[in-house]
Structure 1
Amino acid sequence: MGTWDIHPFDNDTAADFANDLDDADMLEREALIRRVLVRAADSKDYLEAPEAEEAVAAAALVAAQCSDTGPANIPYGPEEPIPTLSADLRSLAVEALDRVVADESELSELWEGAEGGRAWERSIGQLRQVLDPAPQAQGDALFAI
Protein backbone atom coordinates (compact mmCIF):
# COMPACT_ATOMS: atom_id res chain seq x y z
CA MET A 1 0.00 0.00 0.00
CA GLY A 2 1.67 3.25 -1.13
CA THR A 3 0.36 5.09 1.92
CA TRP A 4 2.27 7.55 4.05
CA ASP A 5 -0.41 8.82 6.47
CA ILE A 6 -4.10 8.61 7.33
CA HIS A 7 -5.47 11.64 5.48
CA PRO A 8 -7.57 11.42 2.30
CA PHE A 9 -4.78 12.21 -0.15
CA ASP A 10 -1.96 10.48 1.76
CA ASN A 11 -1.66 7.56 -0.65
CA ASP A 12 -0.50 7.03 -4.21
CA THR A 13 -3.96 6.28 -5.60
CA ALA A 14 -5.52 9.45 -4.22
CA ALA A 15 -2.53 11.51 -5.38
CA ASP A 16 -3.05 10.09 -8.89
CA PHE A 17 -6.75 10.99 -8.63
CA ALA A 18 -5.74 14.57 -7.72
CA ASN A 19 -3.54 14.65 -10.82
CA ASP A 20 -6.44 13.36 -12.94
CA LEU A 21 -8.60 16.18 -11.60
CA ASP A 22 -5.88 18.72 -12.35
CA ASP A 23 -5.61 17.39 -15.92
CA ALA A 24 -9.38 17.40 -16.47
CA ASP A 25 -11.21 20.35 -17.93
CA MET A 26 -12.86 22.48 -15.23
CA LEU A 27 -16.30 21.44 -16.50
CA GLU A 28 -15.42 17.73 -16.18
CA ARG A 29 -14.12 17.76 -12.60
CA GLU A 30 -17.48 17.38 -10.88
CA ALA A 31 -18.39 14.46 -13.14
CA LEU A 32 -15.09 12.77 -12.29
CA ILE A 33 -15.73 13.20 -8.55
CA ARG A 34 -19.29 11.92 -8.96
CA ARG A 35 -18.16 8.82 -10.91
CA VAL A 36 -15.67 7.90 -8.18
CA LEU A 37 -18.30 8.30 -5.44
CA VAL A 38 -20.97 6.36 -7.36
CA ARG A 39 -18.54 3.51 -8.11
CA ALA A 40 -17.85 3.07 -4.38
CA ALA A 41 -21.36 3.72 -3.11
CA ASP A 42 -22.98 1.34 -5.60
CA SER A 43 -20.42 -1.44 -5.16
CA LYS A 44 -22.25 -4.63 -4.24
CA ASP A 45 -19.18 -6.85 -4.32
CA TYR A 46 -15.81 -6.58 -2.65
CA LEU A 47 -14.62 -2.95 -2.79
CA GLU A 48 -10.97 -2.89 -3.85
CA ALA A 49 -8.58 -0.53 -2.06
CA PRO A 50 -7.87 1.76 -5.04
CA GLU A 51 -11.57 2.49 -5.57
CA ALA A 52 -12.01 3.09 -1.84
CA GLU A 53 -8.98 5.40 -1.67
CA GLU A 54 -10.34 7.48 -4.56
CA ALA A 55 -13.76 7.62 -2.89
CA VAL A 56 -12.28 8.91 0.37
CA ALA A 57 -10.36 11.58 -1.57
CA ALA A 58 -13.48 12.59 -3.51
CA ALA A 59 -15.51 12.75 -0.29
CA ALA A 60 -12.85 15.03 1.21
CA LEU A 61 -13.22 17.41 -1.74
CA VAL A 62 -16.98 17.51 -1.20
CA ALA A 63 -16.50 18.03 2.54
CA ALA A 64 -14.06 20.87 1.88
CA GLN A 65 -16.93 22.80 0.31
CA CYS A 66 -19.21 22.29 3.30
CA SER A 67 -17.48 25.04 5.23
CA ASP A 68 -17.83 28.78 4.80
CA THR A 69 -14.16 29.32 5.57
CA GLY A 70 -13.17 29.40 1.90
CA PRO A 71 -11.28 26.85 -0.20
CA ALA A 72 -9.53 24.20 1.81
CA ASN A 73 -5.84 23.61 1.40
CA ILE A 74 -5.67 19.84 1.12
CA PRO A 75 -2.10 18.53 1.18
CA TYR A 76 -1.38 16.32 -1.86
CA GLY A 77 -4.82 17.19 -3.22
CA PRO A 78 -5.57 18.85 -6.54
CA GLU A 79 -3.66 22.01 -7.28
CA GLU A 80 -6.26 23.31 -9.72
CA PRO A 81 -9.53 24.72 -8.34
CA ILE A 82 -12.53 22.48 -7.91
CA PRO A 83 -15.80 24.02 -9.11
CA THR A 84 -18.64 24.51 -6.67
CA LEU A 85 -20.04 21.01 -6.37
CA SER A 86 -23.72 20.07 -6.45
CA ALA A 87 -25.33 19.72 -3.04
CA ASP A 88 -26.47 16.15 -3.80
CA LEU A 89 -22.84 15.02 -3.72
CA ARG A 90 -22.88 15.33 0.07
CA SER A 91 -25.24 12.39 0.54
CA LEU A 92 -23.46 10.41 -2.17
CA ALA A 93 -20.13 11.03 -0.40
CA VAL A 94 -21.64 9.77 2.87
CA GLU A 95 -22.84 6.60 1.11
CA ALA A 96 -19.39 6.08 -0.39
CA LEU A 97 -17.66 6.54 2.99
CA ASP A 98 -20.10 4.13 4.62
CA ARG A 99 -19.21 1.57 1.94
CA VAL A 100 -15.46 2.15 2.45
CA VAL A 101 -15.69 1.23 6.15
CA ALA A 102 -18.22 -1.59 5.69
CA ASP A 103 -17.59 -5.31 5.38
CA GLU A 104 -16.14 -6.43 2.08
CA SER A 105 -13.86 -3.38 1.78
CA GLU A 106 -10.19 -4.03 1.17
CA LEU A 107 -9.13 -0.61 2.47
CA SER A 108 -10.96 -1.15 5.73
CA GLU A 109 -9.34 -4.57 6.06
CA LEU A 110 -5.89 -3.13 5.37
CA TRP A 111 -6.28 -0.52 8.10
CA GLU A 112 -7.80 -2.97 10.59
CA GLY A 113 -5.16 -3.69 13.19
CA ALA A 114 -2.53 -1.64 11.32
CA GLU A 115 -0.56 1.12 12.99
CA GLY A 116 -2.70 4.22 12.63
CA GLY A 117 -5.83 2.19 11.90
CA ARG A 118 -7.86 3.77 14.70
CA ALA A 119 -6.74 7.25 13.64
CA TRP A 120 -7.75 6.44 10.04
CA GLU A 121 -11.21 5.34 11.25
CA ARG A 122 -11.55 8.60 13.20
CA SER A 123 -10.55 10.63 10.15
CA ILE A 124 -13.23 8.89 8.07
CA GLY A 125 -15.73 9.58 10.86
CA GLN A 126 -14.76 13.25 10.92
CA LEU A 127 -15.24 13.51 7.16
CA ARG A 128 -18.62 11.87 7.47
CA GLN A 129 -19.59 14.26 10.28
CA VAL A 130 -18.76 17.27 8.09
CA LEU A 131 -20.83 15.84 5.24
CA ASP A 132 -23.78 14.76 7.38
CA PRO A 133 -23.74 16.56 10.71
CA ALA A 134 -26.08 14.98 13.21
CA PRO A 135 -28.29 17.50 14.92
CA GLN A 136 -27.14 18.00 18.47
CA ALA A 137 -29.69 16.81 21.00
CA GLN A 138 -30.89 19.39 23.45
CA GLY A 139 -28.76 19.26 26.56
CA ASP A 140 -25.79 17.56 24.87
CA ALA A 141 -22.45 18.98 25.84
CA LEU A 142 -20.64 20.96 23.18
CA PHE A 143 -17.28 19.58 24.22
CA ALA A 144 -16.31 16.15 25.40
CA ILE A 145 -13.78 16.05 28.21
Structure 2
Amino acid sequence: MGTWNTGPYDNDDAADLLEDIREGHIYFDELLPDVGHRYIEADQGAMIIAMAHLAAGDVPEGIDDTVLAPLRTPQTRERLRQCLEAVLSDGAVSELAEQWAENGQEELLEWKAKSHIQLV
Protein backbone atom coordinates (compact mmCIF):
# COMPACT_ATOMS: atom_id res chain seq x y z
CA MET A 1 0.00 0.00 0.00
CA GLY A 2 1.53 3.34 -1.04
CA THR A 3 -0.49 5.61 1.23
CA TRP A 4 -1.13 4.27 4.73
CA ASN A 5 -2.07 6.45 7.67
CA THR A 6 -4.82 6.67 10.27
CA GLY A 7 -7.11 9.27 8.67
CA PRO A 8 -10.27 8.26 6.79
CA TYR A 9 -8.80 9.30 3.44
CA ASP A 10 -5.17 8.38 4.18
CA ASN A 11 -4.94 5.19 2.12
CA ASP A 12 -4.84 4.20 -1.53
CA ASP A 13 -8.35 2.72 -1.59
CA ALA A 14 -9.95 5.89 -0.20
CA ALA A 15 -7.85 8.03 -2.55
CA ASP A 16 -9.07 5.93 -5.51
CA LEU A 17 -12.66 6.28 -4.28
CA LEU A 18 -12.32 10.07 -4.09
CA GLU A 19 -10.82 10.19 -7.58
CA ASP A 20 -13.69 8.09 -8.95
CA ILE A 21 -16.18 10.45 -7.28
CA ARG A 22 -14.45 13.49 -8.80
CA GLU A 23 -14.63 11.84 -12.23
CA GLY A 24 -18.28 10.81 -11.78
CA HIS A 25 -17.59 7.07 -12.01
CA ILE A 26 -19.12 5.85 -8.77
CA TYR A 27 -22.11 3.80 -7.69
CA PHE A 28 -22.12 3.81 -3.90
CA ASP A 29 -24.59 0.94 -3.42
CA GLU A 30 -22.28 -1.42 -5.28
CA LEU A 31 -19.47 -0.69 -2.82
CA LEU A 32 -21.35 -1.56 0.36
CA PRO A 33 -21.58 -5.18 1.48
CA ASP A 34 -24.92 -6.63 2.44
CA VAL A 35 -25.80 -6.16 6.10
CA GLY A 36 -24.64 -9.22 8.00
CA HIS A 37 -21.74 -9.86 5.60
CA ARG A 38 -19.39 -12.18 7.49
CA TYR A 39 -15.94 -10.70 6.63
CA ILE A 40 -14.90 -7.34 5.20
CA GLU A 41 -11.68 -7.21 3.17
CA ALA A 42 -9.24 -4.34 3.80
CA ASP A 43 -9.95 -2.47 0.55
CA GLN A 44 -13.69 -2.56 1.12
CA GLY A 45 -13.22 -1.53 4.76
CA ALA A 46 -11.17 1.50 3.72
CA MET A 47 -13.90 2.57 1.30
CA ILE A 48 -16.61 2.07 3.94
CA ILE A 49 -14.74 4.39 6.31
CA ALA A 50 -14.32 7.01 3.58
CA MET A 51 -17.99 6.78 2.53
CA ALA A 52 -19.13 7.11 6.16
CA HIS A 53 -17.12 10.31 6.51
CA LEU A 54 -18.51 11.63 3.23
CA ALA A 55 -22.07 10.82 4.35
CA ALA A 56 -21.49 12.66 7.63
CA GLY A 57 -20.31 15.80 5.84
CA ASP A 58 -16.53 15.39 6.15
CA VAL A 59 -16.00 16.23 2.48
CA PRO A 60 -12.50 16.81 1.07
CA GLU A 61 -11.76 19.63 -1.33
CA GLY A 62 -12.72 19.01 -4.93
CA ILE A 63 -15.75 16.81 -4.21
CA ASP A 64 -19.12 18.13 -5.40
CA ASP A 65 -21.39 17.74 -2.39
CA THR A 66 -24.44 17.09 -4.59
CA VAL A 67 -23.03 13.78 -5.89
CA LEU A 68 -22.98 12.52 -2.31
CA ALA A 69 -26.78 12.64 -1.95
CA PRO A 70 -27.12 8.83 -2.37
CA LEU A 71 -24.94 8.37 0.74
CA ARG A 72 -27.21 10.56 2.82
CA THR A 73 -30.51 8.72 2.55
CA PRO A 74 -31.67 7.26 5.89
CA GLN A 75 -31.40 3.70 4.54
CA THR A 76 -27.86 4.15 3.22
CA ARG A 77 -26.70 5.96 6.36
CA GLU A 78 -27.98 3.07 8.49
CA ARG A 79 -26.31 0.53 6.24
CA LEU A 80 -23.08 2.55 6.38
CA ARG A 81 -23.32 2.79 10.17
CA GLN A 82 -23.61 -0.98 10.46
CA CYS A 83 -20.77 -1.57 8.00
CA LEU A 84 -18.54 0.96 9.77
CA GLU A 85 -19.24 -0.71 13.10
CA ALA A 86 -18.16 -4.04 11.59
CA VAL A 87 -14.99 -2.59 10.04
CA LEU A 88 -13.93 -1.09 13.36
CA SER A 89 -14.86 -4.12 15.48
CA ASP A 90 -12.02 -6.65 15.34
CA GLY A 91 -9.91 -8.84 13.10
CA ALA A 92 -12.43 -11.68 13.09
CA VAL A 93 -14.79 -9.51 11.03
CA SER A 94 -12.49 -6.93 9.46
CA GLU A 95 -9.18 -7.43 7.67
CA LEU A 96 -8.43 -3.74 8.15
CA ALA A 97 -8.88 -3.99 11.93
CA GLU A 98 -6.60 -7.03 11.89
CA GLN A 99 -3.91 -5.11 9.99
CA TRP A 100 -4.07 -2.16 12.37
CA ALA A 101 -3.92 -4.49 15.39
CA GLU A 102 -0.65 -5.89 14.00
CA ASN A 103 0.80 -2.35 14.25
CA GLY A 104 0.20 -2.26 18.00
CA GLN A 105 -2.49 -1.11 20.40
CA GLU A 106 -1.61 2.59 20.23
CA GLU A 107 -1.92 2.79 16.43
CA LEU A 108 -5.04 0.62 16.47
CA LEU A 109 -6.76 2.99 18.90
CA GLU A 110 -5.66 6.06 16.91
CA TRP A 111 -7.01 4.53 13.69
CA LYS A 112 -10.32 3.65 15.34
CA ALA A 113 -10.68 7.15 16.80
CA LYS A 114 -10.02 8.84 13.45
CA SER A 115 -12.16 6.39 11.49
CA HIS A 116 -15.25 6.48 13.70
CA ILE A 117 -17.89 9.08 12.85
CA GLN A 118 -21.49 9.55 13.95
CA LEU A 119 -24.07 8.67 11.31
CA VAL A 120 -27.32 9.76 12.96
TM over 0.5, yes or no? yes
TM score, norm. by length of structure 2: 0.77
Size of the aligned set, in residue pairs, is 112
In the alignment, structure 1 residue 108 sits paired with structure 2 residue 97: yes
Kindly indicate which of the two structures has a greater share of residues assigned to helix. Answer: 2
Q: Distance in 2 between matches of 1:99 and 1:81?
A: 28
Give the AA of the match of 1:43: H
Alpha-carbon shift at residue 55 of structure 1 (Å): 0.8
Q: Distance in 2 between matches of 1:41 and 1:114?
A: 28
Give the AA of the match of 2:100: W
Structure-1 residue corresponding to 2:108:
117
Structure-2 residue corresponding to 1:81:
64
% of aligned pairs identical? Answer: 27
Alpha-carbon shift at residue 36 of structure 1 (Å): 1.9
Does the residue aligned with 1:74 lie in a helix, a strand or coil? coil
Aligned with residue 62 of structure 1, among 55, 69, 80 = 55
List alignment gaps of at least 5 residues for structure 1: 65-71, 133-145
RMSD: 2.2
Per-residue CA deviation, residues 65-85 of structure 1 (Å, 9 max, x unaligned), is xxxxxxx4426xxx2303233
Does the residue aligned with 1:131 lie in a helix, a strand or coil? coil
Structure-2 residue corresponding to 1:10:
10
Larger radius of gyration: 1
Alpha-carbon shift at residue 124 of structure 1 (Å): 2.9
TM score, norm. by length of structure 1: 0.66
Q: Distance in 1 between matches of 2:37 and 2:55?
A: 20
Cα 1:73–1:56, aligned 2, differ >3 Å: closer, same or farther?
closer
Structure-2 residue corresponding to 1:34:
29
* 2:59/2:65 contact within 8 Å kept: no
Alpha-carbon shift at residue 40 of structure 1 (Å): 6.4
List alignment gaps of at least 5 residues for structure 2: none
